[in-house]
Structure 1
Amino acid sequence: MRIISFCADGIKQATSNGFFDWVVDQDADIICIQDLRCQEYDLTDNVFFPEGYYGYFFDSPDGINGVAIYVREIPKAIMTGLGFGESDIQARYMQADYDNISIGCILAPDTADGNPQAVENKEVFFEQLGGHLNKIRNKRREFVICGNWQIAHHESDLQDPDGNQDSSGFLPTERQWMDNLYDRLGYVDAFRTVNSDDDEFTWWPNGNRQENGWRTDLQIISNGLRSTVEYGVAYKKKEFSNHAPVIMDYDYEINPS
């Protein structure tokens, strides 16, 4: 099972930069895209609906974010949103459910502008998300949750950790939240099971890939999938947005519905 996760910074712009030309050649079973910045009905060109895939979209009311999941096998169910209220509106989440596995696509709330309300929404969202992930870990199914989590966990996940100690996305409380996710709840950063390099960044806030790189684009998996991870890479040969696609291969086969 190959899953590609990508934060588009606008799917139309990423497409004009060649994203779909590239991704259809990657033989992915599932493609999770975040930050569409448009509504599904705006996507009128066939390029947005590649042959062999079924596309599912969760738009935002004002078109500022939005997520999509493209799959080869039709899921048994699609879930949109997490029911968190206002903090959930500022984020985006959708999930494709199969027999024994669920694939989630997440775009966490953004606090780049430093707006106090946005900061509070992000804190509330992650508090509620932690409770949700604690609840579902006891279900008899596996989970892969892909996307832009808006948090870098360790100093090795930043190109300039000293210069970002007080930045949203690398605050002590946020890093502690990730500690809890892995250490207490038992989830796994899939990429780090196969790649421990210090320069594997996926996001460059200013668009310059020579400086201030962050690794915030993650595929978080349930512990039962840890041994299935075979390969992981942040693809950087071509630039489709300020984020690099994350490609993960798992020794796992999705059962058709």
Structure 2
Amino acid sequence: MTTSASSLPSSPDSGAFSVVTVNVNGIRAAVKHRSENNLGMLPWLEAAAPDVVLMQEVRATDALARKALQPALDAGWHLSHAESELKGRAGVAILSRQEPAAVRVGFGSDEFDVAGRYLEADFDFGGDTVTAASLYLPTGAALTEDPKDVEKYEEKLRFLQAFGPYLDKLLAAGGQTVVAGDWNIAPDERDIKNWKGNRKNAGFLPHEREWVAAQLDAGWTDLSRTHHGDVAGPYAWWSWRGKAFDNDAGWRIDYHLATPALAERLRTTWVDRAGAYDLRWSDHAPVTAVFD
């Protein structure tokens, strides 16, 4: 039986609220204690006690996602989920302490609204409506003669062309909105450890970075970059392969973009980087933003 939200652990500061984004790399694997040290997403959730968790790459049906997260749901958390029509692919979800006032799937695209790429929900924080959206932008590929690369390249390009105007609409509405997730684009050289070696790779192609820059020029605020300033990273994704994590050879492709009305309420933001390689429950680390 599902208990009330009052059973949830209380926030460290009731006057603030936190929005976390994390690519879970498969919700069932993340919950099944991928780490040999018997850690996983659920112990992290209990310890971190966020208000909203925006998840990407859920890669499960709604029934399977709820089954994996049942202990959290029994403790009072609420799950909103947009699965992909392609089995075992993509999928975005929002796990929240409070029940959303409204939930919307997609952004008006016939192609991508059924692909588990975008989900947004409205919450009441201190009497204000705050919209939090989970985004999983296509990975894409460098444009080569390989038909598979061409397909992935063009898919990502179509997404950017369709999603940009929707971001403009959210910005023009003047509300308190945060769009966060796995953008699969590192905005600039500070956001990849080995940026020189990735100049021709998906996620750091010129047109991709120009697209992100256009969103920032339009008025969106990159919360992590604004808070941390002109520093390398902080990275939130590292390949499982080799010593990428140990050497902090990562990418900053997981981040929050906020409208001006919400960005001015930012208190702090950080990457919840695991203490060691074998303590990770995803190849992405949770990124937290706390607002007043």
TM-score by length of 1: 0.91
Equivalent of residue 202 in structure 1, options 224, 231, 236: 236
- Between 48-57 and 26-35, report the one with greater CA deviation: 48-57
Q: Measure the CA separation in 2 of the matches of 1:68 and 1:90.
A: 12
Residue correspondence of structure 1 range 98-247 to structure 2 within 5 A: 98=123, 100-111=129-140, 115-183=149-217, 185-196=218-229, 197-207=231-241, 208-209=244-245, 210=247, 212-237=249-274, 238-247=279-288
> What's the C-alpha RMSD, in Å, of the aligned pairs?
1.8
Cα distance per residue 1:116-157 (max 9 Å; x no partner): 112111111111111111122121411111100010001010
Equivalent of residue 92 in structure 2, options 64, 67, 74: 67
For residue 118 of structure 2, what is the amino acid of its counterpart?
Y
Contact 1:100 1:140 in 2 (8 A): no
Q: Measure the CA separation in 1 of the matches of 2:139 and 2:50.
A: 28
Q: Measure the CA separation in 2 of the matches of 1:89 and 1:215.
A: 27
Contact 1:193 1:226 in 2 (8 A): no
**Quick check: 1:84 aligned with 2:93?**
no
Q: Measure the CA separation in 2 of the matches of 1:48 and 1:12.
A: 13
Q: Which residue of 2 aligns with 1:254?
A: none
Unaligned runs of 5+ in 1: 252-257
For residue 235 of structure 2, what is the amino acid of its counterpart?
F
- Between 220-229 and 81-90, report the one with greater CA deviation: 81-90
For residue 14 of structure 1, what is the amino acid of its counterpart?
A
SS in 1 for 2:94: strand
- Between 16-25 and 167-176, report the one with greater CA deviation: 16-25
SS in 2 for 1:193: helix
Cα distance per residue 1:12-40 (max 9 Å; x no partner): 11112311111222121101111011112
Q: Which residue of 1 aligns with 2:145?
A: none
Equivalent of residue 57 in structure 1, options 81, 84, 90: 81
User: Which structure is larger by alpha-carbon Rg, 1 or 2?
Assistant: 2
Q: Measure the CA separation in 2 of the matches of 1:193 and 1:150.
A: 19
Equivalent of residue 14 in structure 1, options 2, 11, 30: 30
TM-score by length of 2: 0.80
Q: Measure the CA separation in 2 of the matches of 1:31 and 1:190.
A: 16
Unaligned runs of 5+ in 2: 1-16, 35-39, 143-147
Alignment coverage as a number of residue pairs: 250
SS in 1 for 2:228: coil
For residue 77 of structure 2, what is the amino acid of its counterpart?
Y
For residue 101 of structure 1, what is the amino acid of its counterpart?
V
- Between 171-180 and 192-201, report the one with greater CA deviation: 192-201
